[in-house]
Amino acid sequence: MNTIWNYVKGLFNTLEESSPSKPYLHETIERTAAEQAAYEKWKLQLGNCEILNWLHTEQVQHSINPAETNDDIEFISTSSLKGFVMKFGKQKFPRTEIIHLFDLLKDRVRELGYTLYMSDLRTYQRNQTIETIQRHYLKPRLRIKDFPAQKLSQQFGNITIQLVERNEKITHLKFNATKYRDHLYQEADAFEDLITALLV
């Protein structure tokens, strides 16, 4: 009995001592056959997809009049990072649809010639909250045949897509492109072109 109790205590201690850099659980994202089938079926109905249409509408609104953008979508623009955050506090979308969007963004970035570098899931405790982050991390394929005569194309830079859950409730989806500042690379392509490719 003591052995089992010590094991359980060890699990709780590991969870309490966890952090984003030292997660309690860290594993590769693997969708089941049923999840993959549901995703493929969902993709056949993208023209009527509420969550994708919402994102597209807000992106267009932001480009026309940023002040009128819905508070549940934040667009990020710094000298080295471009992106957006979709918050799901007020917006009520099915959990499966949010996860499908997360995977769709990854697949569409890959169609642009990117390599999937990592897809992982990390779970840890933050204060009294159990937080889980699913992440897709993609890098542009480097075409070096013309290098060094021509600088390397970084396309839109490195792309990270994160889906964040707190106590098993999805709170937000974050998408960002971080450009290289190295002199070996050409200037990054316009983020607006990336969004158009992803959403149209």
pLDDT (0 to 100) of residue 9: 46
The closest alpha carbon to 124, from 25, 2, 6, belongs to: 25
- pLDDT tens digits, the chain, 200 residues: what are they? 455 545 434 444 555 655 666 777 889 999 999 999 999 999 998 877 888 888 988 988 888 998 888 889 999 999 889 999 999 977 788 999 999 999 999 999 999 999 999 999 999 888 888 999 999 999 998 776 666 667 777 889 999 999 999 998 999 999 999 998 878 788 888 999 999 899 87
The closest alpha carbon to 112, from 156, 146, 150, belongs to: 156
pTM for this predicted structure: 0.87
pLDDT (0 to 100) of residue 111: 95
pLDDT (0 to 100) of residue 20: 65
Cα 177 from chain centroid? 10
Beta carbons of 150 and 127 less than 8 angstroms apart: no
Q: What is the rounded (10 degree) CA torsion for 170, 59, 49, 81?
A: -50
pLDDT (0 to 100) of residue 7: 40
Beta strands at 81-87 and 25-28: parallel, antiparallel or unpaired? unpaired
